[in-house]
Amino acid sequence: MELSGEAAAWLDWLAAGEVPPSVALMHLAAGAPGPEAVEAALAAAAGPADAEARGRLAAARDLWRANPQAWGIVREVLGGVDHGEELEGARAVAALAAAFDRAARASPEGSVALYALGSPALLRAATEEIVAALDAWGLLSREARLVDLGCGIGRVAAALAPRVAAVTGLDIAPAMIAAARERCAGLANVALHLGSGRDLAPVPTGGADLVLAVDSFPYLVQAGLAADHVREAARVLRPGGDLVVLNYSYRGDLARDRREAAALAASHGFRLIRAGTAPFTTWDGRAFQLRRL
């Protein structure tokens, strides 16, 4: 089978261990006319000389076969969320809210982490990695007050609630907030709000120790609202508090992301602690950590 250049690149990166299997499969599914095309692409790439590379490709094939829903979910979610739409401000917020409502109805897991391929188990593993990283960075404590910016279906809020004093979750999509409230039911220290997409208004000044944005900043960057939210994070964080952004954009330009994050940090009273590190094995999140001066 002759592979497209993009598909061949993702398979090469997968074989080399540069991307997790789930991420490579997500990109293959996004460009494939059907699930059988992904299977064929994996088979066509299954013969490298390196045994470790063959093992990675075999693991990806097994993961694909274990998730027959993956192709349909990837295509349906991507069909409803435009990652390149040129809208700004209120129009962008409204368009994204509608898009994520559609995505949440298509697949709650896929709507917040498409690399999970619609699998609760894959999403749980990625969420556990986020919690472990925050813990390793010394950002979790029983006294910590956390803001989950773009909380989606509440998977991070629910995972962090037992580790911190309070979690405030914000999202612009009503269907996401509804799913989050269902997931977090019974967690007395979790408060969930339908946000404006332009600020952190439900959070009082100085009322947070950590603002966490998991795969939400790319949409703020797309909508021209990144600076507004860094400014708001500076307002709500206590001195020494942290803004952690996991994926700054989806532009595929890490150098540009680093430059912009550094500029925003300097402009709004932060020190850049992490600038696009890659601490995860289950997904391709890049970590930016800004500490409030």
Long-range contacts of 59-62 (CB under 8 A, 24+ apart): 59/21, 60/14, 60/21, 60/24, 60/25
Structure confidence at residue 255 (pLDDT): 98
pLDDT over 90, % of the chain: 78
Structure confidence at residue 23 (pLDDT): 95
CA distance 101 to 97: 6
Structure confidence at residue 201 (pLDDT): 96
Which residue ranges make up each domain of the chain?
A: 5-66, 123-292
Structure confidence at residue 4 (pLDDT): 66
Determine the Cα angle at 89 with ends 86 and 91, to 5°.
Answer: 70
Structure confidence at residue 212 (pLDDT): 98
Residue 291 has which token pair? 């500490």
CA distance 98 to 81: 9
Structure confidence at residue 80 (pLDDT): 54
In terms of DSSP bridges, do strands 190-194 and 287-292 run parallel, antiparallel, or are they unpaired?
unpaired
* Choices 3.40.190.10, 3.30.830.10, 2.30.31.70, 3.40.50.150: CATH for 123-292: 3.40.50.150
Structure confidence at residue 75 (pLDDT): 87
Amino acid at 133: A
CA distance 144 to 24: 35
Extract the residue ranges of the chain whose pLDDT is less than 50: 1-2
